[in-house]
Amino acid sequence: MARISMTVNGKARKGEVEPRLLLVHFLREQLLLTGAHVGCDTSQCGACTVLVDGRSAKSCTLFAVQADGCDITTIEGLATDGQLHPLQNGFWEEHGLQCGYCTPGMIMSAVNLLNDTPSPTDQQIREGISGNFCRCTGYQHIVNAIQHAARKG
């Protein structure tokens, strides 16, 4: 077992984990942050996306021990002081989700996208979220949602 510590959504968290434990399972099973979802086992779907030191990362592709000492933000930590993040608002306003399973990862990827490209074109958005699958929406309302956030951000 390995001892790890990291900052998760602004709070210092510690854990004792098997070296093989995936970060997503540490977040979900030990910290009970179930917003990051597991939608595949080959790092394609992006449902588990979180921010690691401010950059989007697929938390099923990291071991928890690799995140030792890191600053993690999950979907649960995105709203501040009870105010939804502009992307959360955008997804709500533009019907950017249906079943909601891909949504936390999609939003976290979009945070990264807008950090890099604050005023993206539709095509830049489509490329920016191409590491995240959504089977419900056909992506059009997701593109609208991210544009909404880019305008309001």
Partner 1 sequence: MATTPVLPKLVGERVKRREDPRLIQGRGTYVDDIKLVGMRHLAFKRSDVAHGRIRSIDTRAAEGMDGVEAVFTGAQLAKLLGPMPIGTPFPSPPHYAVAVDVVRYAGEPVAVVVASDRYTARDAADAIVIDVEPLPAVVDPELAMTGRPTVIHADFPNNLAVALVPSGTGVGADGSVDDTAVEKAFAEADVVISQRMMNQRLVPNAMEPRGVLAHFEPGKESMTIWSSTQNPHILRTMIAAMTGLGQDQVRAIAPEVGGGFGAKINIYGEEYVAATVSKALGLPVKWIEDRSEAFVATTHGRDILGYIDVAARRDGKVLGLRMRLIADIGAYNMLLTAAIPTLTMLMANGTYDIPAIRTTLTEVFTNKTPTDAYRGAGRPEATYFVERAMDMLARELKMDPAELRRRNFIAADKFPYQTQMGAVYDSGDYGKALDVALQAANWKALLAERDAARKDGRLVGVGLAMYVEVCGIGPSSSLPTGGWEHSQVTVERDGRISATTGASPHGQGNETTFGQMLADQFGVPLEHITIHHGDTGVVKQGIGTFGSRSQAVGGTALHLAGGKVKAKMAKFAAALLEAHEDDLVFENGRIGVKGAPSSAKTFAEVAGYAYVPVPLPPGLDPGLSDEAFFEPANNTYPFGCHITMLEIDRETGEPTLLRVVAVDDAGNLINPLIVEGQIHGGLAQGIGQAMIEEAVYNEDGQLLTGSFMDYALPRATDFPRFEMHATVTPTPVNPLGAKGVGEAGTLGATPSIVNAAVDALAEFGVTHVDMMLRPEKLWRIIQGGPR
Residue ranges that bind partner 1, judged by CB under 8 A: 18, 20-21, 28, 33-42, 44-45, 47, 74-76, 78-79, 84, 88, 91-93, 95, 97-104, 107, 122-123, 125-127, 129-130, 132-143
Shortest Å, Cβ 107 to partner 1: 7
Shortest Å, Cβ 65 to partner 1: 15
Q: Which is nearer to partner 1, 71 or 93 (CB)?
A: 93
Q: Which is nearer to partner 1, 6 or 37 (CB)?
A: 37
Q: Which is nearer to partner 1, 69 or 84 (CB)?
A: 84
> Hey, how many other C-beta atoms are within 10 angstroms of the C-beta on 18?
13
